[in-house]
Amino acid sequence: MPVRLVRTLAALAVLIACLAAVDPSAAPAALGGAQLTVLASRTHKSLPEILVVGPYGQVLSSIAGATGAGNAEWLSWSPDGREYAYIDEGVVPSTVMVARAGAPEARTVGTSAYESFPVFDPDGEVVFATLELYDRKPGVPDYEPSGIYGTVLWASPVDGSEPRQLFAFGPGALVDPYSAASDGTVAAMQGLEIATLTPGKATLHPVFATDVVGISSPAISPDGSRVVFLRDQLEGFSLESARIGSTQVISVSTRGGKPKVIATIPGGARWPSWDPSGSRLSFTALGLWEKSETDLPGPHSALMEMNPDGSCLTTVYAAKNGGTVWGGAWRPRRGRAVPPLSC
């Protein structure tokens, strides 16, 4: 056999061995790949699983996860795709949990009195909010506080060390983080206002404000240029008896300007999520076709995708046999970037 051919074959063997040794779950998000994952129960009798959904709605695999995630509604993935965070609502007060993909155990990294969704920042720390009661008088046992709260934002390392305080917002400022851009800019709700929070600065920058109830879930694009949020269209004669008729998916520049309705989802929608390349949006259609008064998913719920302009709205996974679809989230992975949907 010629010496040149022998050397070529030897080099190929080394390359194949090196590729086989690479752990795909450890790949950095900068490579642009992503998996769409969803927390869902396949039937009305099954417990929630973390399912990996393919581009045509096929379930590619199930990510073994912590059993406590069955009390969650939505997951947030770390920048390297190795771990996920969620709120365990099965305990009081609700706890912020982090688990490694494929591992059965989860660890507590914080406690959130009002079920603030945990958000990973670019450094891999978990950002969440707690309430701070400002109206209290130590040493006065019969004093009844009036319930004036503010918010404290925390960043918690995933190694289990103590959370550190980021910012404290004063009385009446209830700030709820929802998502983070690749540069660390956080999109949050402040009452009926959507705002962004610049890394390292305790200043909220208004993006959109309204006096209409039903605004939620500000998902900031990976490049930080836009925020997509939800606005419920209610049916009923009062807030107490109202139910969701539909949900508008709205896009607005983080610099402000006129918001644009890019989709209207009958029955309601929750948990919008950008893929890491900014090419697609996913969300859960609640499927409240039976006119339930709850805003939680029902047996007709589905995971949907669309392009950022609202085009090519597609159902990629629908619950069957009484199953339920909860929140979908994009997991950073090695591979090609997710292209826009074509239709």
Count of alpha carbons within 13 Å of 188, Cβ hemisphere only?
28
Place of tokens 């009484």: 322
The larger pLDDT score, comparing residue 289 to residue 175, is at 175
By mean pLDDT, which of 48-52, 190-194, 266-270, 334-338 is the weakest? 334-338
Report whether 269 contacts 284 (CB < 8 A): yes
Q: Of 62-66, 161-165, 227-231, 334-338, give the lowest mean pLDDT range.
A: 334-338
Q: What is the per-residue pLDDT across 216-250, written as a single tens digit (0 to 9) for each?
A: 999 999 999 999 999 998 876 555 666 788 999 99
Range 129-141 average pLDDT: 66
Please write the tens of the pLDDT for every residue from 44-74: 788 888 999 887 778 888 898 877 777 788 8
Question: In this predicted structure, what is the pLDDT of residue 254?
Answer: 94
* Architecture of the structural domain at 28-333: 6 Propeller (2.120)
List phi, psi (to 5°) of 322: 80, 10
pLDDT at 211: 80
In this prediction, residue 77 has a pLDDT band, given cuts at 50, 70 and 90, of: very high
Q: Are 155 and 94 in contact (CB under 8 A)?
A: no
Which H helix or E strand runs over 293?
none
Which tokens in the block code for residue 151? 């918010």
Residue-wise DSSP of 123-163: TSPEEEEEEEE----TT-TT------EEEEEEEE-TTSPPP
State the average pLDDT for the chain. 80
Name the nearest CA neighbour of 326 among 271, 244, 266, 275.
Answer: 271
- Distance between CA 118 and CA 271 in Å, rounded? 13
Contact between 73 and 48 under an 8 Å Cβ cutoff? The reply is no
| Predicted local confidence at residue 24, as pLDDT | 35
Q: How far apart are CA 268 and CA 243, in angstroms?
A: 9
DSSP letter, residue 237: S
pLDDT at 172: 74
pLDDT (0 to 100) of residue 76: 93
**Cα–Cα distance measured from residue 109 to residue 129, given in angstroms and rounded to the nearest whole number:** 12
Cα–Cα distance measured from residue 301 to residue 215, given in angstroms and rounded to the nearest whole number: 20
Residue 25 clears pLDDT 90, i.e. is over it:
no
Question: Which helix H or strand E contains 49, and what residues bound it?
Answer: strand 49-53
Average pLDDT over residues 114-130: 87
pTM of this structure = 0.82
Give the span between the Cα atoms of 123 and 132, in whole angstroms: 26
Please report, for the chain, the start and end positions of each structural domain, with discontinuous segments joined by +: 28-333
3-state SS assignment for residue 92: coil
